[in-house]
Structure 1
């Protein structure tokens, strides 16, 4: 492929942003390498199509964790995007920045310039917020659409239940309120189509002659000479290739693949690398450590009035919804199913919002192995109330299992390994029990759920959570931004400690997990990184 000023590994959320931003300087030649293929697929473009891509090996790495004691010895399924746009092409499109305190904690972890007052203008710089009244705020390329008026009518029960419990109800979950609140989730859709990072940032930039995108190009290691990154080795079409970087190599491969690449390149725990026969370039035990993730659960309810089950669960309903979508790009197929929710305290004594709620006007209590059947809901009116705790304190690891790049890394989440996390789970389930028992919600609940969080003991709640909970797919922290002496892999400018001309720009650099979905903060990190890289 020759020589480039910047080589970006991974065309996911962060990589798409960096490719657009760095190629804006026409004097710089940029190479973007993506292990997956094109995102030009109807199931990616149609918002509700993520139910089909959830297990599709053509666009999904389909990782599985090690059996986890916190889940009773179960392994967790981790879908990750293996396609242009990365996980932004297969996610549920919820866009939530988190809370201001999340980023103040980043700053306080030894990273000046990463507090809320520093990063909030960065968010605004790339967002185009489409309000529910049709007005537009901001002119960035990423559409953040408030689709609340189109959300299912049963939302009125959830709002009323929140007010009955004294939970704050807000118009916008944009992170500006440190107290969080209950509201409608904004989604990354544009005129009824998914607005992924590839759509918003990469695709317009591909018209530039100085930007080269190579798909089906799996990077195997970073080439390092004299403690400086000088390029990458990758495989494309069965052939091994090399690309050289005059300037920098930037890893945007995500919280799973970025630490894998660093370790394959000789940057990581010295004992592990030596045991696998990989020459140690820079020993740093923090590479692959710091893993955090949100763990969630759903409670299933029968409803007293029709829900999306009656639309998506019948042939006439699906046909009508399909025709509506094809003709007008509207209706339930143009939305996700995570419609309402928010970030709230489980009790007034909690120091900050500690749980994220979800209210979905559809239910899937029947298990379908290897599938996420968004178009096969329960055959009766139903809905879901679910949660994941906001700021888990359990920390795991991701490490290579072999020097062979094709072999998946070993993912050890270490879920529910602290008393704090267990307490938050029980408190969150208790909150859902209180929501369920409000007068507003009793008008909607036709029968008590199979597992009733309002009547279960603490021990029963925890046992059920261990048995049924799963990842919410927000893995981060495996290449933490912090001083090396404090367990960091990259510094405050995202430069890899001990290696020149090598940066990491993706969710793996989060010093701690944010309170909500990780897509929005990943885009922010990439925009801020582009400024740092351009400044030299």
Structure 2
């Protein structure tokens, strides 16, 4: 078990990285994944996230600590524990973010991460099947991206109403300008999910220099004289050392990567000492700078048909299953949302600060299933929260999940923005042609008046949930809390890098799967460039 490169975590970034590192054929690569192979059929059916999130066979099933910002609630934080990682259980939504996000990273000292620098990697990854008026889309990459194969009238009317309310229509939020309303683009090929594993590992399976090991839980990074020389992993219940002649790369995600680092002795000395872990590298930023997108979920009852009533009995479900089996179309190709909007809550803002996810269904929680009445959800989130949380070890055992402290809604700006986002959702719902199709506002409901900002914020605190975008816990930068440098090398440790969403110094303005894949793509060039140089 000795390789040139050992990549820990076969998620969005890790699969891309393992493919590119092994592509040239000069190096041997091991990709270690704690979860199983992606053989569960629900992974590959787009709507399967209803079955894979919360399933211990595919989901880490993290849960946050009680958080004051959301009324002391603990909430689930699903993360993929399977080949493909979270790209195998997510909502399939493809969003790059704003070019200003990446220019902001560069201004923080992350040289080589401006929009101009990262755009080639977005394009290299992507096989966009739609129109490309901007010339910014990729056509030949492994990751299939396409428009939805499903439409619903209620979503069309929401887009029309948003336009009537003064927001512009945007046919491609991944093009020149993100702002506007329209429809989500999906990581889907035909009628099947295109996870990072499907995109990057399936074409590489025949390579003799790439070894993919599933059910391999990395315990810690092996360090010798300040250098990473491999990892210790539990492979099918047996501890093994997997040696790296060149480098170890952690791609275990915003929770997994910092946890492995801390268990390896890389982190805040005081926190490590509390669990009897010998300090190998003092890096106070490990596990800090935790950022996530929090979604408030206004729900509106409607006269129109929605997924709630279209799946209300076994006969309707059987018809939907038959439609998918015969045509790979219909509700089983549904992403987590159909419509979207990237909008500004204030005219003076340079770029959008809120995002909508418009869903032709509604539920109090996925576990309880859809409501019995016809309704849609106008989920809204703040794109760039100021609030940041942290992770804490609970023990020196990898099997004990760290404490997750999201620290939601901890600043005035964050509170103000979520309230304004909910008000925008209500204003669009009061605009034709949508207004006449709505029979009742189910949530927040009439007990919370439109101009009751305090009541609106309290409703958000009591009901808002994650939209599954944890980032930032091994942040890139040059300040005292930075964990990796601009080449993703762990500061103070040779032969060790991090390549996943945890390196984001600031969360991107949108969903995080596409940026995580981009990070894996760029990391491969950084690593191969250093090897050649």
Q: TM-score, normalised by structure 2?
A: 0.96
Give the paired residue count: 524
Give 1:266's aligned residue.
265
Q: Is the 8 A contact 1:264 1:405 kept in 2?
A: yes
Equivalent residue of 1:273, what SS?
helix
Provide structure 1 residue ranges, at least 5 long, that are not aligned to the other structure: none
Give 1:513's aligned residue.
507
How far has the Cα of 1:487 moved from its partner? 1.8
Matched, 1:442 2:441: no
| Stretch deviating more after TM superposition (275-284 or 450-459) | 450-459
| Stretch deviating more after TM superposition (377-386 or 416-425) | 377-386
Q: Please tell me the root mean square deviation across aligned C-alpha atoms, in Å.
A: 1.5
Give 2:151's aligned residue.
151
Give 2:99's aligned residue.
100
How far has the Cα of 1:382 moved from its partner? 1.2
Which runs of structure 2 are paired with 1:160-179 in the superposition (5 Å)? 160-177=160-177
| Stretch deviating more after TM superposition (514-523 or 232-241) | 232-241
Equivalent residue of 2:297, what SS?
strand
> Per-residue displacement from partner, 1:460-510 (whole Å, max 9, x unpaired)?
111101100011110000000001x34210000000000001000000000
How far has the Cα of 1:351 moved from its partner? 3.5
Q: Is the 8 A contact 1:97 1:175 kept in 2?
A: no
> Per-residue displacement from partner, 1:2-53 (whole Å, max 9, x unpaired)?
x110000011111100110001121211111110001011111111111011
Q: Is the 8 A contact 2:13 2:520 kept in 1?
A: yes
339 and 372 in structure 1: CA distance in 2 versus 1, 3 angstrom threshold: farther
Give 1:392's aligned residue.
385
How far has the Cα of 1:430 moved from its partner? 1.2
Distance 1:487 1:111 in 2: 14
Equivalent residue of 1:325, what SS?
helix
Matched, 1:35 2:34: yes
How far has the Cα of 1:343 moved from its partner? 1.1
How far has the Cα of 1:515 moved from its partner? 0.8
Q: Is the 8 A contact 1:391 1:515 kept in 2?
A: yes
Equivalent residue of 2:505, what SS?
coil
Q: Is the 8 A contact 1:337 1:362 kept in 2?
A: no
507 and 372 in structure 1: CA distance in 2 versus 1, 3 angstrom threshold: farther
How far has the Cα of 1:380 moved from its partner? 2.4
Task: List, as ranges, runs of 4+ consecutive aligned residues in structure 1 with deviation greater than 4 Å.
Answer: none
285 and 35 in structure 1: CA distance in 2 versus 1, 3 angstrom threshold: same
Distance 1:142 1:46 in 2: 16
492 and 435 in structure 1: CA distance in 2 versus 1, 3 angstrom threshold: same
Q: TM-score, normalised by structure 1?
A: 0.95
Distance 2:108 2:343 in 1: 24
231 and 469 in structure 1: CA distance in 2 versus 1, 3 angstrom threshold: same
> Per-residue displacement from partner, 1:107-147 (whole Å, max 9, x unpaired)?
111011111111112101110111279xx961111011112
> Per-residue displacement from partner, 1:419-467 (whole Å, max 9, x unpaired)?
1111111111111121121122212211232423663511111110110
Which runs of structure 2 are paired with 1:225-264 in the superposition (5 Å)? 225-264=224-263
Give 2:400's aligned residue.
407
175 and 514 in structure 1: CA distance in 2 versus 1, 3 angstrom threshold: farther
Which runs of structure 2 are paired with 1:239-318 in the superposition (5 Å)? 239-318=238-317
> Per-residue displacement from partner, 1:397-437 (whole Å, max 9, x unpaired)?
11211111211111111111111111111111111121121
Distance 1:477 1:435 in 2: 33
Distance 2:507 2:84 in 1: 22
> Per-residue displacement from partner, 1:147-171 (whole Å, max 9, x unpaired)?
2x63112233112211112112111
> Per-residue displacement from partner, 1:237-270 (whole Å, max 9, x unpaired)?
2211001111000000000010001101111001
Instruction: Specify which of 459, 466, 470 is matched with residue 464 of structure 1.
Output: 459
How far has the Cα of 1:216 moved from its partner? 0.5
How far has the Cα of 1:175 moved from its partner? 4.9
> Per-residue displacement from partner, 1:278-317 (whole Å, max 9, x unpaired)?
1111111101111000000211111122222232223232
Equivalent residue of 1:183, what SS?
strand
Equivalent residue of 1:22, what SS?
helix
Q: Is the 8 A contact 2:77 2:466 kept in 1?
A: yes
